[in-house]
Amino acid sequence: MDATPKSPELVTCLNNALENEHAIYVQYLSHAKTVKGVDARLVNKRLRRLAGYHRRHQKKLRYLIADYLEAVPSMNMGATYAADNLDTILQTNIKCEGAAIDNYMKTLALLDRQKEDLPYEFCKIDYALKKIIRNDQAHIATLKKLRGA
């Protein structure tokens, strides 16, 4: 890809989001293997399912970055957080999902400011990010339910 990206600032935001999706995917899979206790099987299954959603988020972000913004998707990984018991695992992932939503909201605000510069890309990127946000909000609800909050 020799072309200059359509919006370098937006590409940076989406690549940061992609790096965070890489991290949360790995984190969920690792936490799923860490769970012990009576409900371990149920929690393991739920965490693996949430990891699957984040794998799909990665795929969508790579598609948006490469095909719509003509840039190179990041292969780096964001920060991950270790946890050694069920409550810490759930609390850690609730915070990570919340931080992801906050970052997506900032990215949407940037996208909205660049709407005129991205007439053909705006609708697709806007829709995709809002769908990811809705998924992450549902993930928080699932994690809170598992925590008993």
Report the Cα–Cα distance between both ends of the chain, in Å, rounded.
Answer: 48
> Is the Cα torsion angle 94, 78, 50, 14 positive or negative in sign?
positive
54 Cβ neighbours under 8 A, 6+ residues apart: 21, 24, 25, 28
Cβ contact 9:110 at 8 Å: yes
Domain of 95, in residue numbers: 8-144
Q: For the segment 32-57, what is each residue's pLDDT rounded down to a tens digit? A: 999 988 888 999 999 999 999 999 99
Cα distance between residue 68 and residue 80, in whole Å: 28
What's the pLDDT at 39? 85
Cα distance between residue 104 and residue 107, in whole Å: 5
Q: Which is nearest to 29 in space by CA: 95, 93, 103?
A: 93
The 10 Å Cβ neighbour count of residue 43 is 22
Which one-letter DSSP state was computed for residue 53?
A: H
Residue 2 in any domain: the answer is no
What's the pLDDT at 79? 96
Residue 149 in any domain: the answer is no
Q: Is the pLDDT of residue 76 over 70?
A: yes
Residue 32 in any domain: the answer is yes
Which one-letter DSSP state was computed for residue 117?
A: G
Residue showing tokens 């695992």? 89
Residue 87 in any domain: the answer is yes
What's the pLDDT at 3? 57
Residue 133 in any domain: the answer is yes
**Domain count of the fold of the chain:** 1
Residue 123 in any domain: the answer is yes
Residue 1 in any domain: the answer is no
CATH number for the domain harbouring residue 38: 1.20.1260.10
Mean pLDDT over 71-100 rounds to 96
Residue 80 in any domain: the answer is yes
